[in-house]
Amino acid sequence: MDITTAITRQDCESLDQADPLHAFAAEFEPGEKGTLYFDANSVGAMPRAARANLDRLLSEWRRMRRRGWSESDWLDAPRRLGAKLAPILGASADEVIVCDTTSVNLFKALAAALALNPGRNRIVSEAATFPSDLYVAQELVRAFPGTAIDLVDEGGAIDPAVDDRTAVVYLSQVDYRNATRHDISTITRRAHERGAMTVWDLSHGAGAVPGDLDASGADFAVGCGYKYLCGGPGAPAWMFVARRHQDKVRPLLAGWMGHNDPFVFARDYTPGAGMKRFLVGTPAVLANAAMEAACDIWARVAPAAVFAKHASLGDLIVRLVDQGAAGPGVSLASSRESDRRGGFVALRHPHAPQVVAALGAANVIASYRPPDSIRFGLSALYHRHVEVWDAIERLAQILARETWRDPRFAAGKKI
């Protein structure tokens, strides 16, 4: 598009016509007619195949019962789903499993990283990292006496905080409030130069922006299954461990599915080879069925096309804010540069909670994070540029008319 003149809705239509991922939108269930969902940062859309997958599983539950463990594909799902997700994460098929929740996987990854670096006792993280990640670390360190967490203040550089006492650099790839994205490659390289491991939480990046886990040299990573990855509300999470570390780690959180041969029922834990040892309990068979519908889409999509379209959708919001099309009083909270942004674009407004509530009433689903962030979660798989245009137009109307001052929006929305 021509960046010297204002972008029009017709320009957006042209972008959509040229979109190589256009056909993927049809693989997702539409939501309510007329509603624009920009909440891929919270709950991604439902793949149409999720229902058929769940129907198959319900049928197996009904007919097979315990035989499903041996005669269906239930037990293999963590490995199989992980292999299908690996390309969009920039990982190899044998480096990713789907299991448990993001927080539980963070616990496993951080415990493993600390164990691999026993002579050191500092974890470097950020004050603005997603709070659950901090909670995991704050309580886990009790299992590693003498270990403490150094929090880099907001806006501070990570690099100077990493020294020869640092065991692990433990970061969210993307700031959950403003989408600011770290460069995994650079931070990982510098951490390695100083002898530190890295543990990355890609929840607000995976399925939207590059993770490049193998190319960046990342040691451990985890992420959410239900945001951009579209695995369904509360979907199982994923976990990545670089191949070079897998067989060196004895998991602190161990269970039978991580045993080398669980059905021998040996008394002693012998960790399985590779990623298997990072499994703990019985897989969530029904939840995996829904998640697999999403993984089957990710296995067919070209990651570069996803990242290019995602950047284009985000850049469109930036352009619209620049040309005043987003309405008065709103500014960009995220970076102008797509390679510095994660899965959403955040705008800033002093009455963000009320504006998000008013957007909801106008059938635009965005989300609020304190203190003043309005987040538009973008999916390269199902969003069209014209939907972004229409959402921003509705925002402009709300701001111009000050609709958000309506008392029914005073409570805001928390999630």
Question: Is 315 exposed, middle or buried (CB count within 10 Å of its CB: 0-12, 13-18, 19+)?
Answer: buried
Question: Is 322 exposed, middle or buried (CB count within 10 Å of its CB: 0-12, 13-18, 19+)?
Answer: middle
Identify which range of 279-287, 318-326, 391-399, 401-409 contacts a second copy by CB under 8 A. Answer: 279-287
Q: Work out which of 124, 179, 235, 301 binds a second copy, going by CB under 8 A.
A: 235
Nearest to 360 by CA among 35, 41, 42: 35
226 is catalytic: yes
144 is catalytic: no
201 is catalytic: yes
Q: Considering only residues 10 through 29, tell me which ones interact with a second copy, judged by CB under 8 A.
A: 29
Q: Can you name the residues that pair with 151 across neighbouring β-strands?
A: 125
Q: Work out which of 1, 25, 51, 121 binds a second copy, going by CB under 8 A.
A: 51
Does residue 134 interact with a second copy by CB under 8 A? yes
H/E run at residue 166: strand 166-172
Query: Which token pair is 408?
Result: 């029914």
Least Cβ distance, residue 116 to a second copy (angstroms): 14
Does residue 8 interact with a second copy by CB under 8 A? no
Query: DSSP characters for 49-65?
Result: HHHHHHHHHHHHHHHTT
Least Cβ distance, residue 340 to a second copy (angstroms): 22
Does residue 331 interact with a second copy by CB under 8 A? no
Identify which range of 158-166, 287-295, 301-309, 321-329 contacts a second copy by CB under 8 A. Answer: 287-295
Does residue 295 interact with a second copy by CB under 8 A? no
User: Which residue number, 97 or 290, has a Cβ lying nearer to a second copy?
Assistant: 290
User: Which residue number, 368 or 389, has a Cβ lying nearer to a second copy?
Assistant: 368
* Annotated catalytic residue, options 37, 107, 226, 240: 226
User: Which residue number, 156 or 328, has a Cβ lying nearer to a second copy?
Assistant: 156
Query: Which token pair is 252?
Result: 């602190």
User: Which residue number, 319 or 369, has a Cβ lying nearer to a second copy?
Assistant: 369
Does residue 226 interact with a second copy by CB under 8 A? yes
Contact 113, 192 (CB under 8 A): no
Contact 310, 377 (CB under 8 A): no
Q: Considering only residues 174 through 203, tell me which ones interact with a second copy, judged by CB under 8 A.
A: none
Least Cβ distance, residue 392 to a second copy (angstroms): 19
Question: What is the size of the binding site for a second copy (CB under 8 A)?
Answer: 90
183 is catalytic: no
Distance between CA atoms of residues 112 and 134, nearest Å? 16
Q: Work out which of 172, 198, 216, 288 binds a second copy, going by CB under 8 A.
A: 288
User: Which residue number, 15 or 355, has a Cβ lying nearer to a second copy?
Assistant: 355
Report CA torsion sign: 263, 268, 270, 271.
positive
Report CA torsion sign: 267, 271, 272, 273.
negative
Does residue 358 interact with a second copy by CB under 8 A? no
Query: Which token pair is 177?
Result: 């409030």
User: Which residue number, 64 or 308, has a Cβ lying nearer to a second copy?
Assistant: 64
Contact 97, 78 (CB under 8 A): yes
Query: Which token pair is 152?
Result: 């880099």
Question: Is 231 exposed, middle or buried (CB count within 10 Å of its CB: 0-12, 13-18, 19+)?
Answer: buried
Q: Considering only residues 136 through 165, tell me which ones interact with a second copy, judged by CB under 8 A.
A: 136, 138-140, 142-143, 145, 151
Nearest to 379 by CA among 72, 42, 12: 42
307 is catalytic: no
Query: Which token pair is 112?
Result: 């493993």
Sheet architecture: strand order including 373-377: 331-332, 344-348, 373-377, 367-369
Mask 67-106, x = binds a second copy (CB under 8 A)? Answer: xxxx---x-------------------------xxxxx--
Q: Which amino acid is at 183?
A: D
Least Cβ distance, residue 200 to a second copy (angstroms): 17
Active-site residue list:
130, 201, 226-227, 375
